[in-house]
Structure 1
Amino acid sequence: MKLDAEIALAHRLADAARAAIRPYFRGSVAIERKDDASPVTLADREAEEAMRRILAAEMPADGIVGEEIGISEGTSGRQWVLDPIDGTAAFLAGRPIFGTLIALMIDGFPVLGVIDQAITEERWLGMAGQPTTLNGRPARTRVCPDLSAATIGTTGPHYFDDHDGDHFMALAAKTDHRRMVMGGDCYNYATLATGQLDIVCEAGLKLHDFAALVPVVEGAGGVMCDWNGDPLHAGSDGHVLAIGDPARLDDVVEALACHHH
Protein backbone atom coordinates (compact mmCIF):
# COMPACT_ATOMS: atom_id res chain seq x y z
CA MET A 1 0.00 0.00 0.00
CA LYS A 2 1.52 3.32 -1.07
CA LEU A 3 0.20 6.13 1.08
CA ASP A 4 3.09 8.58 0.83
CA ALA A 5 0.85 11.66 0.90
CA GLU A 6 -1.01 10.28 3.92
CA ILE A 7 2.25 9.55 5.76
CA ALA A 8 3.47 13.10 5.11
CA LEU A 9 0.10 14.39 6.32
CA ALA A 10 0.28 12.26 9.48
CA HIS A 11 3.66 13.86 10.28
CA ARG A 12 2.16 17.32 9.87
CA LEU A 13 -0.75 16.39 12.13
CA ALA A 14 1.66 15.15 14.80
CA ASP A 15 3.76 18.33 14.48
CA ALA A 16 0.65 20.46 14.96
CA ALA A 17 -0.40 18.45 18.02
CA ARG A 18 3.09 18.79 19.54
CA ALA A 19 3.02 22.56 19.16
CA ALA A 20 -0.39 22.75 20.86
CA ILE A 21 0.50 20.41 23.73
CA ARG A 22 3.98 21.45 24.79
CA PRO A 23 3.15 24.84 26.38
CA TYR A 24 0.69 23.16 28.75
CA PHE A 25 2.94 20.33 29.99
CA ARG A 26 4.07 20.92 33.60
CA GLY A 27 2.43 24.35 33.38
CA SER A 28 5.48 25.93 31.75
CA VAL A 29 3.40 28.81 30.41
CA ALA A 30 1.07 31.08 32.38
CA ILE A 31 -2.28 29.72 31.25
CA GLU A 32 -5.52 31.65 31.28
CA ARG A 33 -7.82 28.92 32.54
CA LYS A 34 -10.99 29.09 30.50
CA ASP A 35 -13.86 28.08 32.78
CA ASP A 36 -11.22 26.65 35.13
CA ALA A 37 -10.34 23.96 32.57
CA SER A 38 -7.32 21.82 33.43
CA PRO A 39 -4.14 22.10 31.35
CA VAL A 40 -4.84 18.68 29.86
CA THR A 41 -8.29 19.78 28.71
CA LEU A 42 -6.87 22.85 27.00
CA ALA A 43 -3.97 20.94 25.42
CA ASP A 44 -6.28 18.13 24.30
CA ARG A 45 -8.82 20.44 22.69
CA GLU A 46 -6.29 22.72 21.01
CA ALA A 47 -4.31 19.79 19.64
CA GLU A 48 -7.43 18.15 18.20
CA GLU A 49 -8.67 21.42 16.69
CA ALA A 50 -5.26 21.98 15.06
CA MET A 51 -5.29 18.47 13.56
CA ARG A 52 -8.89 18.80 12.38
CA ARG A 53 -8.15 22.11 10.62
CA ILE A 54 -5.38 20.44 8.60
CA LEU A 55 -7.54 17.43 7.73
CA ALA A 56 -10.53 19.56 6.73
CA ALA A 57 -8.28 21.53 4.36
CA GLU A 58 -6.35 18.63 2.87
CA MET A 59 -8.62 15.57 3.03
CA PRO A 60 -12.15 16.97 3.12
CA ALA A 61 -13.76 13.71 1.97
CA ASP A 62 -12.27 11.68 4.82
CA GLY A 63 -14.18 11.16 8.05
CA ILE A 64 -12.71 12.11 11.42
CA VAL A 65 -13.20 10.37 14.75
CA GLY A 66 -11.76 12.48 17.55
CA GLU A 67 -11.75 11.83 21.26
CA GLU A 68 -12.66 15.40 22.20
CA ILE A 69 -14.86 16.75 19.43
CA GLY A 70 -16.56 13.62 18.09
CA ILE A 71 -17.26 12.30 14.61
CA SER A 72 -17.32 14.10 11.27
CA GLU A 73 -18.79 11.80 8.67
CA GLY A 74 -16.80 11.51 5.45
CA THR A 75 -17.66 10.19 2.00
CA SER A 76 -14.42 8.39 1.08
CA GLY A 77 -14.69 5.23 3.21
CA ARG A 78 -11.63 6.44 5.11
CA GLN A 79 -11.47 7.82 8.64
CA TRP A 80 -8.75 9.57 10.60
CA VAL A 81 -8.91 8.58 14.26
CA LEU A 82 -7.37 11.10 16.67
CA ASP A 83 -6.54 10.98 20.36
CA PRO A 84 -4.59 14.17 21.12
CA ILE A 85 -3.53 13.12 24.63
CA ASP A 86 -3.67 9.43 25.43
CA GLY A 87 -2.56 9.23 29.06
CA THR A 88 -4.27 12.11 30.85
CA ALA A 89 -3.07 11.00 34.29
CA ALA A 90 0.55 10.85 33.09
CA PHE A 91 0.25 14.30 31.50
CA LEU A 92 -1.15 15.82 34.71
CA ALA A 93 1.55 14.10 36.80
CA GLY A 94 4.24 15.64 34.58
CA ARG A 95 5.33 12.26 33.20
CA PRO A 96 6.29 12.35 29.50
CA ILE A 97 4.76 8.97 28.70
CA PHE A 98 1.45 10.22 27.32
CA GLY A 99 1.13 10.33 23.56
CA THR A 100 -0.74 11.71 20.60
CA LEU A 101 -2.39 8.95 18.57
CA ILE A 102 -3.22 9.36 14.88
CA ALA A 103 -4.62 6.54 12.77
CA LEU A 104 -5.96 6.20 9.24
CA MET A 105 -8.68 3.56 8.91
CA ILE A 106 -9.75 2.19 5.56
CA ASP A 107 -12.98 0.16 5.53
CA GLY A 108 -12.87 -0.11 9.33
CA PHE A 109 -9.30 -1.42 9.65
CA PRO A 110 -6.28 0.67 10.75
CA VAL A 111 -3.62 0.87 8.02
CA LEU A 112 -1.47 3.77 9.28
CA GLY A 113 -0.67 4.71 12.86
CA VAL A 114 1.42 7.31 14.67
CA ILE A 115 2.35 7.35 18.36
CA ASP A 116 3.95 10.73 19.06
CA GLN A 117 5.55 11.86 22.33
CA ALA A 118 5.72 15.64 22.24
CA ILE A 119 8.20 16.14 25.09
CA THR A 120 10.78 13.41 24.36
CA GLU A 121 10.31 14.10 20.63
CA GLU A 122 9.84 10.45 19.79
CA ARG A 123 7.59 9.47 16.91
CA TRP A 124 6.66 5.92 16.04
CA LEU A 125 5.14 5.45 12.58
CA GLY A 126 3.47 2.22 11.54
CA MET A 127 2.11 1.39 8.11
CA ALA A 128 0.51 -1.79 6.78
CA GLY A 129 3.13 -3.79 4.89
CA GLN A 130 6.07 -1.59 5.93
CA PRO A 131 8.54 -1.72 8.83
CA THR A 132 7.68 0.50 11.79
CA THR A 133 10.06 3.38 12.42
CA LEU A 134 11.01 5.40 15.49
CA ASN A 135 12.21 8.83 14.34
CA GLY A 136 12.90 7.34 10.91
CA ARG A 137 14.89 4.30 12.10
CA PRO A 138 13.47 0.76 11.94
CA ALA A 139 11.90 -0.49 15.19
CA ARG A 140 11.65 -4.20 16.04
CA THR A 141 10.01 -6.18 18.80
CA ARG A 142 12.15 -8.75 20.64
CA VAL A 143 12.00 -12.53 20.73
CA CYS A 144 10.43 -14.00 23.86
CA PRO A 145 11.32 -17.68 24.21
CA ASP A 146 8.92 -18.43 27.05
CA LEU A 147 5.98 -16.75 28.80
CA SER A 148 7.87 -16.98 32.13
CA ALA A 149 10.51 -14.62 30.72
CA ALA A 150 7.97 -12.08 29.42
CA THR A 151 7.67 -8.54 30.76
CA ILE A 152 4.05 -7.38 30.80
CA GLY A 153 2.64 -3.87 31.00
CA THR A 154 -0.80 -2.42 31.65
CA THR A 155 -2.04 1.06 32.43
CA GLY A 156 -3.42 0.00 35.80
CA PRO A 157 -5.45 -2.56 37.73
CA HIS A 158 -8.21 -0.02 38.35
CA TYR A 159 -9.09 -0.10 34.64
CA PHE A 160 -10.21 -3.75 34.84
CA ASP A 161 -13.53 -4.86 36.26
CA ASP A 162 -13.25 -7.79 38.70
CA HIS A 163 -13.83 -10.41 36.02
CA ASP A 164 -11.28 -8.93 33.58
CA GLY A 165 -8.88 -8.32 36.46
CA ASP A 166 -8.92 -12.03 37.38
CA HIS A 167 -8.04 -12.94 33.80
CA PHE A 168 -5.29 -10.33 33.65
CA MET A 169 -3.75 -11.58 36.92
CA ALA A 170 -3.87 -15.17 35.64
CA LEU A 171 -1.79 -14.06 32.66
CA ALA A 172 0.51 -11.81 34.71
CA ALA A 173 1.24 -14.66 37.15
CA LYS A 174 2.75 -16.68 34.29
CA THR A 175 5.10 -13.83 33.27
CA ASP A 176 8.15 -12.35 34.98
CA HIS A 177 5.90 -10.30 37.25
CA ARG A 178 8.79 -8.69 39.20
CA ARG A 179 9.27 -6.63 36.05
CA MET A 180 5.62 -5.87 35.39
CA VAL A 181 5.07 -2.19 34.60
CA MET A 182 1.99 -0.18 35.54
CA GLY A 183 1.03 3.06 33.87
CA GLY A 184 2.14 4.09 30.42
CA ASP A 185 -0.97 4.05 28.23
CA CYS A 186 0.11 4.16 24.56
CA TYR A 187 3.79 4.44 25.50
CA ASN A 188 3.84 0.75 26.50
CA TYR A 189 2.87 -0.28 22.99
CA ALA A 190 5.56 2.02 21.59
CA THR A 191 8.27 0.48 23.79
CA LEU A 192 6.99 -3.02 22.97
CA ALA A 193 7.60 -2.06 19.32
CA THR A 194 11.24 -1.24 20.17
CA GLY A 195 11.82 -4.46 22.13
CA GLN A 196 11.59 -3.30 25.76
CA LEU A 197 8.30 -5.01 26.67
CA ASP A 198 6.81 -8.34 25.59
CA ILE A 199 3.09 -8.08 26.33
CA VAL A 200 0.58 -5.29 26.89
CA CYS A 201 -2.87 -6.30 28.09
CA GLU A 202 -5.77 -3.90 28.57
CA ALA A 203 -9.56 -3.74 28.68
CA GLY A 204 -12.05 -0.92 28.12
CA LEU A 205 -10.16 0.73 25.27
CA LYS A 206 -12.06 2.75 22.68
CA LEU A 207 -11.28 2.93 18.99
CA HIS A 208 -9.26 6.13 19.43
CA ASP A 209 -7.16 4.38 22.12
CA PHE A 210 -6.10 1.41 19.98
CA ALA A 211 -6.43 2.19 16.25
CA ALA A 212 -3.02 3.86 15.91
CA LEU A 213 -1.26 1.18 17.95
CA VAL A 214 -2.06 -1.68 15.56
CA PRO A 215 0.09 -0.65 12.55
CA VAL A 216 2.95 0.39 14.88
CA VAL A 217 3.09 -2.93 16.75
CA GLU A 218 2.48 -5.14 13.72
CA GLY A 219 4.99 -3.29 11.51
CA ALA A 220 7.60 -3.90 14.24
CA GLY A 221 7.00 -7.65 14.06
CA GLY A 222 4.47 -7.98 16.86
CA VAL A 223 0.81 -8.91 16.84
CA MET A 224 -2.24 -7.04 18.13
CA CYS A 225 -5.57 -8.68 18.76
CA ASP A 226 -8.44 -8.91 21.21
CA TRP A 227 -8.36 -11.32 24.17
CA ASN A 228 -9.67 -14.13 21.93
CA GLY A 229 -6.81 -13.63 19.48
CA ASP A 230 -8.99 -11.97 16.82
CA PRO A 231 -7.83 -8.92 14.80
CA LEU A 232 -8.79 -5.45 16.04
CA HIS A 233 -11.16 -3.30 13.97
CA ALA A 234 -13.73 -0.54 14.39
CA GLY A 235 -16.20 -2.97 16.03
CA SER A 236 -13.80 -4.51 18.58
CA ASP A 237 -14.97 -4.49 22.21
CA GLY A 238 -11.89 -2.86 23.75
CA HIS A 239 -10.14 -5.95 25.18
CA VAL A 240 -6.70 -5.41 23.67
CA LEU A 241 -3.51 -7.47 23.58
CA ALA A 242 -0.15 -6.57 22.10
CA ILE A 243 2.44 -9.34 21.89
CA GLY A 244 5.98 -8.64 20.73
CA ASP A 245 6.75 -12.20 19.71
CA PRO A 246 3.89 -13.76 17.70
CA ALA A 247 5.13 -17.22 18.79
CA ARG A 248 3.71 -16.44 22.25
CA LEU A 249 0.22 -15.56 21.01
CA ASP A 250 -1.40 -18.90 21.82
CA ASP A 251 0.27 -19.03 25.26
CA VAL A 252 -1.02 -15.55 26.12
CA VAL A 253 -4.60 -16.16 24.93
CA GLU A 254 -4.68 -19.48 26.80
CA ALA A 255 -3.32 -17.95 30.03
CA LEU A 256 -5.91 -15.17 29.85
CA ALA A 257 -8.77 -17.60 29.36
CA CYS A 258 -8.11 -19.75 32.44
CA HIS A 259 -8.25 -18.37 35.94
CA HIS A 260 -9.11 -19.97 39.26
CA HIS A 261 -11.28 -18.41 41.92
Structure 2
Amino acid sequence: MQSDQDILAFIHRLADAAGEVAISGFRTSIQVDNKGSRDTPADDVRRYDPVTEADRGAERAMRSLIEEHLPDHGIVGEEYGAHQSDAEHVWVLDPIDGTRSFISGVPLWGTLIGLMRAGKPAFGMMAQPYIGERFFGTGKQAWYRGPHGEGKLSTRACANLSDAVLFTTTPALFDANERPVYDAIERAARLARYGTDCYGYCMLAAGQADLVIESGLQNYDVVALVPIIEGAGGVITTWTGGPATDGGRIVASGDPALHEIVLRDLAKCPA
Protein backbone atom coordinates (compact mmCIF):
# COMPACT_ATOMS: atom_id res chain seq x y z
CA MET A 1 0.00 0.00 0.00
CA GLN A 2 1.35 3.43 -0.97
CA SER A 3 -1.36 6.07 -1.09
CA ASP A 4 -3.52 7.39 1.71
CA GLN A 5 -6.56 6.13 -0.17
CA ASP A 6 -5.15 2.60 -0.24
CA ILE A 7 -4.56 2.70 3.51
CA LEU A 8 -8.00 4.14 4.24
CA ALA A 9 -9.60 1.47 2.06
CA PHE A 10 -7.82 -1.21 4.09
CA ILE A 11 -8.93 0.42 7.34
CA HIS A 12 -12.53 0.28 6.13
CA ARG A 13 -11.99 -3.39 5.37
CA LEU A 14 -10.75 -3.95 8.91
CA ALA A 15 -13.80 -2.11 10.25
CA ASP A 16 -16.10 -4.29 8.14
CA ALA A 17 -14.55 -7.46 9.55
CA ALA A 18 -14.61 -6.27 13.16
CA GLY A 19 -18.12 -4.87 12.87
CA GLU A 20 -19.56 -8.12 11.59
CA VAL A 21 -18.27 -9.93 14.67
CA ALA A 22 -19.20 -7.21 17.15
CA ILE A 23 -22.77 -6.84 15.91
CA SER A 24 -23.35 -10.57 16.26
CA GLY A 25 -22.97 -10.17 20.03
CA PHE A 26 -24.65 -6.82 20.59
CA ARG A 27 -27.94 -6.87 22.52
CA THR A 28 -27.67 -10.61 23.01
CA SER A 29 -27.10 -12.77 26.09
CA ILE A 30 -23.37 -12.95 25.34
CA GLN A 31 -21.16 -14.10 28.23
CA VAL A 32 -19.28 -11.34 30.00
CA ASP A 33 -15.96 -11.97 31.74
CA ASN A 34 -14.19 -9.59 34.10
CA LYS A 35 -10.55 -8.69 33.40
CA GLY A 36 -10.43 -6.58 36.56
CA SER A 37 -8.95 -7.63 39.89
CA ARG A 38 -10.46 -7.93 43.34
CA ASP A 39 -7.23 -6.35 44.57
CA THR A 40 -8.26 -3.10 42.85
CA PRO A 41 -9.77 -0.59 45.32
CA ALA A 42 -13.56 -0.82 45.51
CA ASP A 43 -14.02 2.78 44.33
CA ASP A 44 -11.83 2.26 41.22
CA VAL A 45 -13.84 1.92 38.00
CA ARG A 46 -11.25 -0.57 36.71
CA ARG A 47 -12.25 -3.11 39.37
CA TYR A 48 -14.88 -4.24 36.89
CA ASP A 49 -13.31 -4.44 33.42
CA PRO A 50 -15.69 -6.44 31.21
CA VAL A 51 -14.73 -8.35 28.08
CA THR A 52 -16.75 -10.60 25.78
CA GLU A 53 -16.09 -13.01 22.94
CA ALA A 54 -17.23 -10.19 20.64
CA ASP A 55 -14.21 -8.14 21.79
CA ARG A 56 -11.85 -11.05 21.25
CA GLY A 57 -13.39 -12.17 17.97
CA ALA A 58 -13.39 -8.67 16.47
CA GLU A 59 -9.71 -8.24 17.28
CA ARG A 60 -8.86 -11.68 15.87
CA ALA A 61 -10.64 -10.76 12.62
CA MET A 62 -8.59 -7.58 12.23
CA ARG A 63 -5.30 -9.18 13.21
CA SER A 64 -5.87 -11.97 10.69
CA LEU A 65 -6.30 -9.50 7.83
CA ILE A 66 -3.23 -7.49 8.84
CA GLU A 67 -1.06 -10.58 9.23
CA GLU A 68 -2.23 -11.89 5.84
CA HIS A 69 -1.85 -8.72 3.80
CA LEU A 70 0.78 -6.72 5.72
CA PRO A 71 3.02 -9.27 7.45
CA ASP A 72 5.81 -6.74 8.05
CA HIS A 73 3.50 -4.47 10.07
CA GLY A 74 3.27 -4.61 13.84
CA ILE A 75 0.10 -4.91 15.90
CA VAL A 76 -0.84 -3.73 19.39
CA GLY A 77 -4.30 -4.82 20.50
CA GLU A 78 -6.22 -4.62 23.75
CA GLU A 79 -7.10 -8.30 23.88
CA TYR A 80 -4.07 -10.06 22.35
CA GLY A 81 -1.17 -7.74 23.09
CA ALA A 82 1.78 -6.74 20.94
CA HIS A 83 3.37 -8.31 17.86
CA GLN A 84 6.35 -6.67 16.12
CA SER A 85 5.62 -3.44 17.99
CA ASP A 86 9.01 -2.02 16.93
CA ALA A 87 8.04 -2.10 13.22
CA GLU A 88 7.91 1.04 11.09
CA HIS A 89 4.12 0.63 10.78
CA VAL A 90 2.15 -0.52 13.82
CA TRP A 91 -1.62 -1.05 14.00
CA VAL A 92 -3.18 -0.13 17.35
CA LEU A 93 -6.54 -1.83 17.85
CA ASP A 94 -9.36 -1.62 20.36
CA PRO A 95 -12.03 -3.98 19.01
CA ILE A 96 -14.80 -2.63 21.25
CA ASP A 97 -14.01 0.61 23.03
CA GLY A 98 -16.84 1.04 25.51
CA THR A 99 -17.55 -2.58 26.43
CA ARG A 100 -19.61 -1.41 29.41
CA SER A 101 -21.97 0.32 26.97
CA PHE A 102 -21.84 -2.71 24.66
CA ILE A 103 -22.99 -5.15 27.34
CA SER A 104 -25.68 -2.68 28.43
CA GLY A 105 -27.19 -2.40 24.94
CA VAL A 106 -26.17 1.25 24.53
CA PRO A 107 -24.64 2.05 21.10
CA LEU A 108 -21.99 4.46 22.44
CA TRP A 109 -19.16 2.03 21.71
CA GLY A 110 -16.97 1.62 18.69
CA THR A 111 -14.07 -0.16 17.04
CA LEU A 112 -10.88 1.89 17.17
CA ILE A 113 -8.33 1.30 14.40
CA GLY A 114 -5.13 3.33 14.44
CA LEU A 115 -1.99 3.13 12.33
CA MET A 116 1.30 4.43 13.70
CA ARG A 117 4.03 5.38 11.27
CA ALA A 118 7.52 5.87 12.73
CA GLY A 119 6.03 6.14 16.21
CA LYS A 120 3.37 8.74 15.40
CA PRO A 121 -0.39 8.33 14.76
CA ALA A 122 -0.90 8.64 11.00
CA PHE A 123 -4.39 7.24 10.36
CA GLY A 124 -7.35 6.55 12.58
CA MET A 125 -10.94 5.37 12.50
CA MET A 126 -13.79 4.95 14.94
CA ALA A 127 -16.45 2.66 13.47
CA GLN A 128 -19.87 2.23 15.12
CA PRO A 129 -21.49 -0.64 13.19
CA TYR A 130 -24.88 -0.65 14.90
CA ILE A 131 -25.58 2.98 14.00
CA GLY A 132 -23.60 2.59 10.78
CA GLU A 133 -21.25 5.53 11.38
CA ARG A 134 -17.56 5.91 10.72
CA PHE A 135 -15.26 8.77 11.68
CA PHE A 136 -11.78 8.68 10.17
CA GLY A 137 -8.81 10.93 9.58
CA THR A 138 -5.20 11.36 8.54
CA GLY A 139 -4.18 14.12 10.94
CA LYS A 140 -4.54 16.64 8.12
CA GLN A 141 -8.16 15.94 7.20
CA ALA A 142 -11.02 13.98 8.75
CA TRP A 143 -14.31 12.62 7.41
CA TYR A 144 -17.65 11.18 8.43
CA ARG A 145 -19.58 8.43 6.70
CA GLY A 146 -22.99 7.32 7.92
CA PRO A 147 -26.74 6.98 7.35
CA HIS A 148 -27.05 10.69 6.55
CA GLY A 149 -24.28 10.78 3.96
CA GLU A 150 -20.61 11.67 3.90
CA GLY A 151 -18.60 14.79 4.52
CA LYS A 152 -15.59 16.41 6.13
CA LEU A 153 -15.34 16.75 9.88
CA SER A 154 -14.59 20.11 11.44
CA THR A 155 -14.45 21.19 15.06
CA ARG A 156 -16.24 24.35 16.13
CA ALA A 157 -14.94 27.55 17.65
CA CYS A 158 -15.27 27.80 21.43
CA ALA A 159 -12.64 29.91 23.13
CA ASN A 160 -14.35 30.18 26.53
CA LEU A 161 -14.80 27.38 29.03
CA SER A 162 -18.14 28.88 30.10
CA ASP A 163 -19.49 28.13 26.61
CA ALA A 164 -18.09 24.61 26.37
CA VAL A 165 -19.86 21.27 26.18
CA LEU A 166 -17.71 18.79 28.09
CA PHE A 167 -17.63 14.99 27.83
CA THR A 168 -16.09 12.34 30.05
CA THR A 169 -16.95 8.67 30.21
CA THR A 170 -17.42 8.85 33.98
CA PRO A 171 -15.98 11.00 36.80
CA ALA A 172 -15.09 7.69 38.45
CA LEU A 173 -12.09 7.59 36.11
CA PHE A 174 -10.37 10.25 38.23
CA ASP A 175 -8.37 9.51 41.37
CA ALA A 176 -8.37 11.58 44.56
CA ASN A 177 -5.88 14.10 43.13
CA GLU A 178 -7.54 14.37 39.73
CA ARG A 179 -11.19 14.60 40.74
CA PRO A 180 -11.15 18.08 42.36
CA VAL A 181 -9.36 19.51 39.30
CA TYR A 182 -11.84 17.89 36.91
CA ASP A 183 -14.83 18.95 39.04
CA ALA A 184 -13.73 22.60 38.94
CA ILE A 185 -13.56 22.49 35.14
CA GLU A 186 -16.95 20.81 34.91
CA ARG A 187 -18.53 23.48 37.13
CA ALA A 188 -17.12 26.16 34.85
CA ALA A 189 -18.37 24.51 31.65
CA ARG A 190 -21.80 25.15 30.17
CA LEU A 191 -22.81 21.48 30.00
CA ALA A 192 -21.29 18.11 30.92
CA ARG A 193 -22.35 14.70 29.62
CA TYR A 194 -21.15 11.23 30.67
CA GLY A 195 -20.99 7.73 29.21
CA THR A 196 -19.53 8.61 25.82
CA ASP A 197 -16.27 6.61 25.59
CA CYS A 198 -14.79 6.97 22.06
CA TYR A 199 -18.02 8.45 20.71
CA GLY A 200 -17.48 11.66 22.65
CA TYR A 201 -14.16 12.35 20.91
CA CYS A 202 -15.86 11.90 17.54
CA MET A 203 -18.63 14.31 18.50
CA LEU A 204 -15.89 16.81 19.31
CA ALA A 205 -14.40 16.25 15.84
CA ALA A 206 -17.87 16.71 14.35
CA GLY A 207 -18.35 20.09 16.04
CA GLN A 208 -21.03 18.89 18.45
CA ALA A 209 -18.94 19.24 21.62
CA ASP A 210 -15.90 21.20 22.73
CA LEU A 211 -13.93 19.30 25.33
CA VAL A 212 -13.16 15.73 26.47
CA ILE A 213 -11.23 15.06 29.68
CA GLU A 214 -10.31 11.55 30.83
CA SER A 215 -7.67 9.64 32.76
CA GLY A 216 -6.29 6.13 32.97
CA LEU A 217 -6.39 5.54 29.20
CA GLN A 218 -4.22 3.02 27.34
CA ASN A 219 -2.58 3.61 23.97
CA TYR A 220 -5.25 1.54 22.22
CA ASP A 221 -7.91 3.86 23.70
CA VAL A 222 -6.50 6.96 22.03
CA VAL A 223 -4.13 6.36 19.08
CA ALA A 224 -6.95 5.98 16.54
CA LEU A 225 -8.62 9.17 17.77
CA VAL A 226 -5.60 11.45 17.35
CA PRO A 227 -5.69 11.65 13.50
CA ILE A 228 -9.46 12.19 13.59
CA ILE A 229 -9.37 15.07 16.07
CA GLU A 230 -6.29 16.72 14.59
CA GLY A 231 -7.61 16.23 11.06
CA ALA A 232 -10.80 18.03 12.07
CA GLY A 233 -8.87 20.99 13.51
CA GLY A 234 -8.81 20.01 17.17
CA VAL A 235 -6.08 19.32 19.70
CA ILE A 236 -5.48 16.21 21.82
CA THR A 237 -2.67 15.91 24.37
CA THR A 238 -1.89 14.72 27.86
CA TRP A 239 -2.86 16.98 30.75
CA THR A 240 0.66 18.41 30.65
CA GLY A 241 0.51 19.15 26.92
CA GLY A 242 2.57 16.17 25.75
CA PRO A 243 1.74 13.64 23.02
CA ALA A 244 -1.40 11.60 23.68
CA THR A 245 0.02 8.49 22.01
CA ASP A 246 0.74 6.50 25.18
CA GLY A 247 -2.56 7.29 26.89
CA GLY A 248 -2.76 8.25 30.55
CA ARG A 249 -4.40 11.58 31.43
CA ILE A 250 -5.91 12.89 28.18
CA VAL A 251 -7.62 16.13 27.16
CA ALA A 252 -9.06 16.93 23.72
CA SER A 253 -10.39 20.31 22.61
CA GLY A 254 -12.09 21.47 19.46
CA ASP A 255 -10.62 24.97 19.73
CA PRO A 256 -6.86 25.40 20.35
CA ALA A 257 -7.56 28.51 22.43
CA LEU A 258 -9.82 26.51 24.76
CA HIS A 259 -7.14 23.84 25.01
CA GLU A 260 -4.61 26.32 26.37
CA ILE A 261 -7.10 27.52 28.99
CA VAL A 262 -7.92 24.01 30.15
CA LEU A 263 -4.26 22.94 30.24
CA ARG A 264 -3.60 25.73 32.73
CA ASP A 265 -6.39 24.39 34.94
CA LEU A 266 -5.22 20.78 34.61
CA ALA A 267 -1.70 21.85 35.58
CA LYS A 268 -3.04 22.29 39.11
CA CYS A 269 -3.28 18.50 39.43
CA PRO A 270 -0.37 16.83 41.29
CA ALA A 271 1.78 14.59 39.08
TM-score by length of 2: 0.87
Which structure shows the higher helix fraction?
Answer: 1
**Aligned residue number for residue 156 of structure 1:** 170
**Aligned residue number for residue 106 of structure 1:** 117
How big is the shift at 1:75? Answer: 6.5
Q: Secondary structure at the match of 2:251?
A: strand
What is the CA deviation profile of residues 68-99 of structure 1, one whole-angstrom value per residue up to 9, with x for unaligned ones?
A: 01111156411000000000111111000101
What is the CA deviation profile of residues 36-73 of structure 1, one whole-angstrom value per residue up to 9, with x for unaligned ones?
A: 75995110011001001100011100000010011111
**Aligned residue number for residue 42 of structure 2:** none
8 Å Cα contact 1:61-1:74 kept in structure 2: no
* Partner AA of 1:19 in structure 2: E
Distance (Å, rounded) in 1 between the aligned partners of 2:219 and 2:234:
19
Cα distance change, pair 37–160 in 1 and its aligned pair in 2 (3 A): closer
**Aligned residue number for residue 60 of structure 1:** 71
Cα distance change, pair 194–25 in 1 and its aligned pair in 2 (3 A): same
Cα distance change, pair 231–58 in 1 and its aligned pair in 2 (3 A): same
* Match for residue 183 of structure 1 among 171, 184, 195: 195
What is the CA deviation profile of residues 119-161 of structure 1, one whole-angstrom value per residue up to 9, with x for unaligned ones?
A: 00100011032x2101141011111131101011101011111
8 Å Cα contact 1:154-1:185 kept in structure 2: yes
Q: Secondary structure at the match of 2:185?
A: helix
8 Å Cα contact 1:199-1:242 kept in structure 2: yes
Root-mean-square deviation (Å) = 1.9
After superposition, residues 111-190 of structure 1 pair within 5 angstroms as 111-129=122-140, 131-135=141-145, 136-176=150-190, 179-190=191-202
Distance (Å, rounded) in 2 between the aligned partners of 1:23 and 1:4:
29
Matched, 1:218 2:230: yes
8 Å Cα contact 2:76-2:85 kept in structure 1: no
Q: Which runs of 5+ in 1 are unaligned?
A: none
**Aligned residue number for residue 88 of structure 1:** 99
Q: Secondary structure at the match of 1:203?
A: strand
Q: Secondary structure at the match of 1:162?
A: coil
Q: Secondary structure at the match of 1:105?
A: strand
8 Å Cα contact 1:65-1:82 kept in structure 2: yes
**Aligned residue number for residue 195 of structure 1:** 207
8 Å Cα contact 1:109-1:232 kept in structure 2: no
Cα distance change, pair 168–20 in 1 and its aligned pair in 2 (3 A): same
How big is the shift at 1:241? Answer: 0.7
Q: Secondary structure at the match of 2:217?
A: coil
TM-score by length of 1: 0.90
Distance (Å, rounded) in 2 between the aligned partners of 1:75 and 1:239:
24
Q: Which runs of 5+ in 2 are unaligned?
A: 35-49
* Partner AA of 2:238 in structure 1: D
* Partner AA of 1:174 in structure 2: A
Q: Secondary structure at the match of 1:180?
A: strand
Distance (Å, rounded) in 2 between the aligned partners of 1:201 and 1:76:
31
| Structure 1 residue ranges, 4+ long, deviating more than 6 angstroms after superposition | none
Which structure shows the higher strand fraction?
Answer: 2
Q: Secondary structure at the match of 1:190?
A: helix
8 Å Cα contact 1:60-1:74 kept in structure 2: no
Q: Percent identity?
A: 42
How big is the shift at 1:170? Answer: 2.1
Q: Secondary structure at the match of 1:204?
A: strand
